[in-house]
């Protein structure tokens, strides 16, 4: 049985894993990136068509600053690979009565220096007549934000990383039976090879609690999330960018995107769904989910009443109990690092996560306490949106 040795082994070629492997490889380290199904595959949280990148995070300045930094890196990647990774559609926040989160987002953007604009209802009516404004009091406009092409960008990132020496393999990791050892030292992959490393980074999303149930079964919860694309009327450009922006309704926990690249108007509910197994869970949309999406669309965008459902996708979140990322050493295995908890809001932060993990492992970077395992309670109390 053959044996290979690397400086770092990253398990999981989603957004967090791919960016972490990319940063380490670009720093001159020998890095192996493994994924059981392939980068941004159809079962992965990073495998969707598109993801929002916005700067607003309520009062949470850390994530706002990480979004700003990450957008710079996404744009740099787009230039390197000569593919469109980012669409600057802008992001429009709907604010109803008593919406403190959007108000706090504006205050944070002001503090950090992110360009934004507060729009009165009359301005909304003028700019976006296709949007119903009946229950809105104002809106927050982020002109520099927009949409990331998720699957495309992660797959391109892995290909680009190979140019810097990154080694990538499609293989499932078989962990050894837990024992009294304080280090993992090596793993076996499904080809039968032994892979050794000084550091193993597990960034495998919804599979983390399956690989490390004793540590994560009560801290990371994969949930079933439904995404829909509805078709606008033939020849009607009002739901296509630039006539229509990306939008967020924090009060209703719903978000959506314009008809981008001719796929239809995207809508999804940001509430956590039911528990979900990423390997075997059904990815057929529910009648209830379709009905809820239609109800919101018809209320907010009257011209989309009766619009045909063109496409749907069942994704999954893998949020931690409080919504903060998990980036920390395994409590028993000193050469194992756990990186996850990003689904629902994490994709945009991939570049910042990769930089952070690289600094943590190679430059004596300091651990942010809110990303620690100890900072994740055993009870669900979401604080990050």
Question: Each residue of 64-114: pLDDT tens digit?
Answer: 999 999 999 999 999 999 999 999 999 999 999 999 999 999 999 999 999
Asked, for residue 385, whether it belongs to a domain, the answer is: no
CA distances from 75 to 81, 281, 324, 345 (A): 10, 34, 25, 19
Work out how many domains the chain is built from and give that number.
2
Domain holding 259, by residue range, is 55-147+226-318
Helices then strands, each counted (H, E), the chain: 9, 19
Question: What is the model's pLDDT at position 179?
Answer: 54
Q: Looking at the structure, tell me whether residues 70 and 216 fall in a common domain.
A: no
Question: What is the model's pLDDT at position 341?
Answer: 96
CATH number of the structural domain spanning residue 298: 3.30.9.10
Whether the per-residue pLDDT at 178 is higher than 70: the answer is no
- Using pLDDT thresholds of 50, 70 and 90, give the confidence band for residue 364: confident
Q: How far apart are the first and last CA of the chain?
A: 47
Whether the per-residue pLDDT at 191 is higher than 90: the answer is no
Q: Looking at the structure, tell me whether residues 244 and 211 fall in a common domain.
A: no
Asked, for residue 240, whether it belongs to a domain, the answer is: yes
Asked, for residue 139, whether it belongs to a domain, the answer is: yes
- Using pLDDT thresholds of 50, 70 and 90, give the confidence band for residue 378: confident
Cα 66 from chain centre: 13
Q: Which residues pair with 118 in a beta bridge?
A: 140
Buried b or exposed e, range 336-358, using 16+ CB within 10 angstroms: bbbbbbbbbbbbbbbbbbbbbbb
d(CA 291, CA 197): 49
Whether the per-residue pLDDT at 283 is higher than 60: the answer is yes
Asked, for residue 286, whether it belongs to a domain, the answer is: yes
- Using pLDDT thresholds of 50, 70 and 90, give the confidence band for residue 1: low
Whether the per-residue pLDDT at 250 is higher than 60: the answer is yes
- Using pLDDT thresholds of 50, 70 and 90, give the confidence band for residue 177: low
Question: Do 57 and 250 touch, CB atoms closer than 8 A?
Answer: no
What mean pLDDT is predicted for residues 372-376? 93
Question: Each residue of 32-75: pLDDT tens digit?
Answer: 999 999 999 999 999 999 999 999 999 999 999 999 999 999 99
Q: Looking at the structure, tell me whether residues 164 and 239 fall in a common domain.
A: no
Asked, for residue 383, whether it belongs to a domain, the answer is: no
Query: Which of 298, 318, 338 is the last residue in one of the domains?
Result: 318
Q: Looking at the structure, tell me whether residues 160 and 115 fall in a common domain.
A: no
Query: Which of 318, 339, 366 is the last residue in one of the domains?
Result: 318
* Cis status, amide bond into 331, omega within 30 of 0: no
What mean pLDDT is predicted for residues 214-240? 96
Q: Looking at the structure, tell me whether residues 161 and 240 fall in a common domain.
A: no
Q: Looking at the structure, tell me whether residues 86 and 198 fall in a common domain.
A: no
Q: Looking at the structure, tell me whether residues 206 and 255 fall in a common domain.
A: no
Q: Looking at the structure, tell me whether residues 42 and 61 fall in a common domain.
A: no
How many C-beta atoms surround the C-beta of residue 72 within 10 A?
Answer: 11
Question: Each residue of 346-360: pLDDT tens digit?
Answer: 999 999 999 999 999
* Ranges 44-48, 98-102, 234-238, 378-382: which has the least confidence: 378-382
Query: Which of 303, 318, 333 is the last residue in one of the domains?
Result: 318
CA distances from 104 to 98, 115, 170, 303 (A): 11, 15, 43, 31
Rounded to 5 degrees, φ, ψ at 10 are -110, 125
Q: Looking at the structure, tell me whether residues 207 and 332 fall in a common domain.
A: yes
Whether the per-residue pLDDT at 166 is higher than 80: the answer is yes
Asked, for residue 247, whether it belongs to a domain, the answer is: yes
For the chain, how long is the longest CA-to-CA vector? 71
Asked, for residue 384, whether it belongs to a domain, the answer is: no
Question: Do 101 and 109 touch, CB atoms closer than 8 A?
Answer: no
Buried b or exposed e, range 100-119, using 16+ CB within 10 angstroms: ebbbebbebbeeeebebeeb
What mean pLDDT is predicted for residues 193-209? 96
CATH number of the structural domain spanning residue 195: 3.50.50.60
- State if pTM tops 0.95: yes
Asked, for residue 108, whether it belongs to a domain, the answer is: yes
Q: Looking at the structure, tell me whether residues 332 and 209 fall in a common domain.
A: yes
d(CA 255, CA 275): 21
Q: Looking at the structure, tell me whether residues 132 and 76 fall in a common domain.
A: yes
Q: Looking at the structure, tell me whether residues 130 and 236 fall in a common domain.
A: yes
Round the average pLDDT of the chain to a whole number and report it: 95
């Amino acid at each position: 049985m053959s044996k290979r040795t690397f400086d770092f082994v990253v398990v999981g070629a989603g957004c967090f894993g791919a960016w972490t492997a990319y940063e380490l490889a670009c720093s001159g380290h020998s890095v192996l990136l493994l994924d059981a199904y392939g980068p941004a595959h159809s079962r992965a949280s990073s495998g969707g068509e598109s993801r929002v990148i916005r700067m607003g995070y309520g009062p949470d300045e850390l994530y706002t600053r990480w979004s700003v930094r990450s957008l710079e890196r996404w744009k740099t990647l787009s230039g390197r690979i000569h593919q469109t990774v980012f669409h600057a559609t802008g992001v429009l926040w709907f604010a109803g009565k008593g919406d403190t989160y959007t108000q706090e987002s504006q205050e944070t953007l002001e503090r950090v220096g992110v360009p934004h604009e507060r729009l009165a209802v009359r301005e909304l009516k003028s700019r976006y007549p296709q949007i119903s404004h009946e229950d809105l009091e104002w809106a927050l406009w982020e002109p520099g934000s927009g949409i990331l092409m998720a699957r495309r960008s992660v797959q391109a990132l892995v290909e680009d990383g190979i140019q810097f020496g990154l080694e990538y393999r499609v293989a499932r990791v078989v962990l050894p039976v837990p024992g009294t050892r304080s280090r993992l030292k090596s793993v076996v992959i499904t080809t039968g090879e032994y892979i050794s490393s000084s550091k193993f980074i597990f960034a495998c999303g919804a599979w983390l609690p399956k690989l490390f149930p004793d540590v994560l079964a009560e801290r990371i919860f994969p949930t079933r999330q439904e995404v829909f694309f509805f078709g606008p009327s033939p020849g009607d450009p009002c739901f296509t960018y630039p006539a229509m922006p990306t939008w967020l309704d924090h009060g209703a926990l719903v978000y959506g995107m314009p008809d981008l690249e001719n796929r239809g108007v995207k809508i999804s509910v940001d509430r956590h769904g039911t528990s979900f197994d990423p390997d075997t869970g059904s990815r057929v949309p529910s009648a209830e989910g379709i009905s809820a999406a239609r109800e919101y669309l018809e209320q907010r965008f009257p011209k989309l009443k009766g619009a045909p459902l063109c496409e749907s996708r069942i994704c999954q979140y893998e949020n931690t109990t409080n919504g903060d990322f998990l980036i920390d050493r395994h409590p028993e295995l000193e050469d194992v690092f756990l990186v996850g908890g990003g689904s629902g809001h994490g994709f945009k932060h991939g570049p910042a996560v990769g930089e952070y993990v690289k600094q943590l492992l190679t430059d004596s970077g300091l651990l942010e306490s809110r990303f620690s395992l100890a900072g994740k309670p055993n009870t669900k109390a979401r604080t990050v949106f």
